[in-house]
Structure 1
């Protein structure tokens, strides 16, 4: 997950467009929710449609470069984008709340998501060994209607939602690097995501949980980011395939780093005075090697561009590399 700032342009016109009845979707859903309940006491679900329009999808695709807002996977290769409601529109999991229907068509509440991050499904999560033990058990992950909070749930049509204190990260409002870290090491743990902690030597196993409440408790005990822990669990950011993709990025970066270092060693060895004295072509060869080092570093830097998949992993690796140099 990487931070993305919404552009200042007006929201897509479909979100406030009036239909044949002369009403906006907000006006229609308000009337639906205020109508008397039927005799069976169950209100039929309102059929939202504004958020699914092409102009909304195009804006989100441009804003996130065709990537899932949560896991940074390119979604186009596997399925059409899911336009996801950060605050769920029709219901809230484990509560009797009717959902945030009044902001279902609000631009700031919409994000692009891949199917795995947005829909509840059983996912396989990796088992790390050695000091990590069992990081996460197999669990059902995917956001669906989940929206855990630490504060007070907003009443329908509330304008100020700040008192809710959401436990899920929103990349357009939050800075994910303040809450999430990637294991950049080698072995089975490579690519795993952890909530950021102020403590050294914390076993990430204590941060795992079957649900967001258990994840929050584990994070609190470890003085780790509760929002990071809950977001990892709810969005399924440690599902097996995703961890493998992140690990592949790390392996490629490590190979490029090693290659760059080896080329530097060769350039240094042939730059010795006794070598330069023997062959006048050596200085040109050294310059070529240094240029090649620069090209390798440029390739590594390009992997951290916002347009690239898992760019936050590459950015974290480059930051770590800078600290090691």
Structure 2
């Protein structure tokens, strides 16, 4: 999960225009919920085509929660951050129905993050075989929405006064609450505040099942591929340190190309990029320092082009 600026994509017209599907639906919903015993309403405005397109533009076709690409293999679930049809554990709450077509309450989600399922969950120290042998547990958001303090129960309630434990990456930076420890598998854990796990990180991981088996395996494959590229870049730079002339230029070219590939894997629109950044940031920073030192040394020997002629590696590593 990574921070996303919602303001960079314009709200869909169907939800914001005075005569759009969203405002029209909200008017009907208000009439429906005037009956204090009314339950259920057939919300549909959030399914408009321009909503799906805006979601795709904002998150690059990725799940807002787990960063998996999902649009190529399954339809996007337009997820209601504050659930529209009820709140699990609060029988008297009819859901945040008034936000069903509110752009600020919508996120793109894969099916497994959004819906309740029985899945195997990896724990720190486990190997792949251990995860496969574990018992499934029920995870997925569904109508879960735990908060601290008082909950808004109607349109006049102050949702901004709530303190949700589930991280919305357009409102709260996940990097401040989630950690990526070195392990056999690519697991995410809550950051620790002294001896206590961060409550937002812990709730988000547990609710969404961010360490579910298939997801952990996919992240681990991406991390392994990135580590191979990193090793190739380190080797190319090591070799370059003892070469000169055309051989030096070829080694630096390979280094540049490898770093560009690594930079692409860490780009915001790529899957699991927050995880890769967390794992690779320090080593990439160290490589950049070595690269600059080598370039400065060889420039003084006239062995590499002047500044401005080969900036690919620095651009890739600084991105």
SS class of match (1:83): strand
Task: List per-residue Cα deviations over 1:35-91 (Å, max 9, x = no partner).
Answer: 364xxxxx3411001001111111011110111000011112331000000000010
Which among 102, 105, 109 is matched to residue 101 of structure 2?
Answer: 105
Q: By how many angstroms is 1:163 displaced?
A: 2.5
C-alpha distance 10-256 of structure 1, shift in aligned 2 (>3 A)? closer
Q: Is the 8 A contact 1:300 1:314 kept in 2?
A: no
Q: By how many angstroms is 1:322 displaced?
A: 3.9
SS class of match (1:7): helix
Structure 2 counterpart of 1:318:
280
Which among 143, 146, 156 is matched to residue 144 of structure 2?
Answer: 146
| Greater shift in the superposed pair: 159-168 or 242-251 | 159-168
Q: Is the 8 A contact 1:191 1:244 kept in 2?
A: yes
Q: Quick one: distance in 1 between partners of 2:8 and 2:111?
A: 28
SS class of match (1:35): coil
Whether 1:57 aligns to 2:30 is no
1:290-309 equivalences under 5 Å are 290-309=252-271
Whether 1:162 aligns to 2:192 is no
Gaps of 5+ in 1: 38-42, 200-221, 272-281
C-alpha distance 241-9 of structure 1, shift in aligned 2 (>3 A)? closer
Q: Quick one: distance in 2 between partners of 1:23 and 1:147?
A: 25
Q: Is the 8 A contact 1:304 1:311 kept in 2?
A: yes
SS class of match (2:277): helix
Q: Is the 8 A contact 1:16 1:24 kept in 2?
A: no
Gaps of 5+ in 2: 288-319
Task: List per-residue Cα deviations over 1:248-288 (Å, max 9, x = no partner).
Answer: 1111111111111122222223x3xxxxxxxxxx5110111
Structure 1 counterpart of 2:34:
34
Structure 1 counterpart of 2:13:
13
Q: Quick one: distance in 2 between partners of 1:36 and 1:6?
A: 34
SS class of match (1:24): helix
C-alpha distance 298-155 of structure 1, shift in aligned 2 (>3 A)? same
Structure 2 counterpart of 1:229:
202
C-alpha distance 19-162 of structure 1, shift in aligned 2 (>3 A)? closer
Task: List per-residue Cα deviations over 1:212-256 (Å, max 9, x = no partner).
Answer: xxxxxxxxxx32211000000111111001011111111111111
Whether 1:285 aligns to 2:247 is yes
Q: Is the 8 A contact 1:301 1:318 kept in 2?
A: no
SS class of match (1:26): helix
Q: Quick one: distance in 2 between partners of 1:228 and 1:48?
A: 31
| Greater shift in the superposed pair: 9-18 or 53-62 | 9-18
Q: Quick one: distance in 2 between partners of 1:244 and 1:21?
A: 40
| Greater shift in the superposed pair: 157-166 or 23-32 | 157-166
C-alpha distance 158-260 of structure 1, shift in aligned 2 (>3 A)? same
Q: By how many angstroms is 1:20 displaced?
A: 11
TM-score (normalizing by structure 1)? 0.80
Task: List per-residue Cα deviations over 1:108-145 (Å, max 9, x = no partner).
Answer: 000000000000010112255479xx999631111010
Q: By how many angstroms is 1:164 displaced?
A: 1.7
Q: By how many angstroms is 1:158 displaced?
A: 2.9
